Amino acid sequence: MTKAYVALENGQVVEARSRAPGRTRGELVFTTAYTGYEESLTDPSYEEQILTFSYPLIGNYGVREERFESDRVHPRGVVARELTEDVAEWLGREGVPAVDELDTRDLVTGIREQGAMRCGIAAGPDATPEDAEAELAACKGMSEHTDIGSQVSVTEPVTYNAEGDGPTVALVDCGAKGSIASSLVERDAVVKQLPYDATASDIEAIDPDILFISNGPGDPENFEQAAALVDAFVGELPLAGICLGQQVIANALGGETEKMEFGHRGVNQPVLDFRSEQVVMTTQNHGYTVSDPGKLDVTQINVNDDTPEGLESEELNVITRQYHPEANPGPHDTLGFFDDVLGMVDSPPTVER
């Protein structure tokens, strides 16, 4: 067995098996998802993180490109109890170090008790504990990477469904999952996907019906240009956001955000909607949350910890969700969000800027 080592910020160095060689570092987080490993591994919101799967076997239905959420693997490293050959070979081709045959239950418990922590990994024939510790020593926190949007965003505008008959959506790409654009296109919207640092003039040039801020990695306060777009167009255009997008919109409208201890990551997060009084199951991947909604109303909360999951303002024509309504691979309880977003075009803001 080719050995690997995982060095943790709490002082632990864990021995494992190397499945894809290399050295790497990042913030160690975990997901409770038991399916959807292809979607998770290609989700741009995992940029600069080390992803631990709490489910013990990852890869038992192969690897199919049509399930990918982007064009590459985004976590800097992967940790699992057991990886199949298909997944290990895929990660090796992608150049992403991966390890298994370690006690992921202990890792997950440690993250839950101590919070997400920095991590260094060394895997391969010549790997040593000291190599992993050196990676850990060089690891910075995600909040320090103020340019993280440039690593996950398109660099030029991209149009989907140009001949569509529905509303035109300006999708500001802070690390957007592919299924967000797909969910809008399925409803015949025209989607104009723009770089994370798009300007107000870029938005005006395409004359959209809706401004949509996507999900993405890291601290929402680093996405200053996206927040500036919210400030520029609130009260003029309907505004929508998912995940990081909710946080950016809340910050721009007088709210505040904060880092969570270990975040929400998985496909089984329960959310209570105040209006329907129903609980829906959701897919989530975020390490920050809205602590003060500012000018927005909290309409949904996480059942486990009461953090805001839905924010809205009828007056300003704003609707956001902390979870991922597009949900791939599921559950699909919340796909109606996209109908609500497109329906905002018929309900203009009722207050002046």
Active site members: 243, 324, 326
CA distance between the termini of the chain = 64
Q: Annotation-wise, does 61 bind a ligand?
A: no
216 appears as a binding residue in the annotation: yes
What's the rounded Cα separation, in Å, for the pair 37 and 40?
A: 5
Query: If we measure between CA atoms, which residue out of 229, 226, 231 comes closest to residue 244?
Result: 226
Residues 235-248 as b/e (b if ≥16 CB within 10 A, e otherwise) read: bebbbbbbbbbbbb
- In eight-state DSSP terms, residue 324 is B
To the question of whether residue 244 is assigned a binding role by annotation, the answer is yes
The set of residues, in sequence order, having a beta carbon less than 8 Å from that of 236 and lying 6+ positions away, is 349, 353
CA–CA dist 299, 334 (Å, integer): 14
Q: How far is CA 264 from the centre of its chain?
A: 10
Please tell me the chain's helix, strand, coil percentages from 3-state DSSP, rounded to the nearest 5. 25, 35, 40
Report the alpha-carbon distance of residue 218 to residue 21 in Å, rounded: 26
Q: Which residue has the tokens 């995940």?
A: 243
Does 269 appear as a known binding residue? no
Query: Is 287 marked within a binding site?
Result: yes
Write out the DSSP string of 30-79. Answer: EE--SS-HHHHHT-GGGTTEEEEE-SSEE-TT---GGG-SSSS--SSEEE
Q: Is 285 annotated as a binding residue?
A: yes
Binding site for L-glutamine, residues? Answer: 45, 216, 218, 244, 247, 285, 287-288
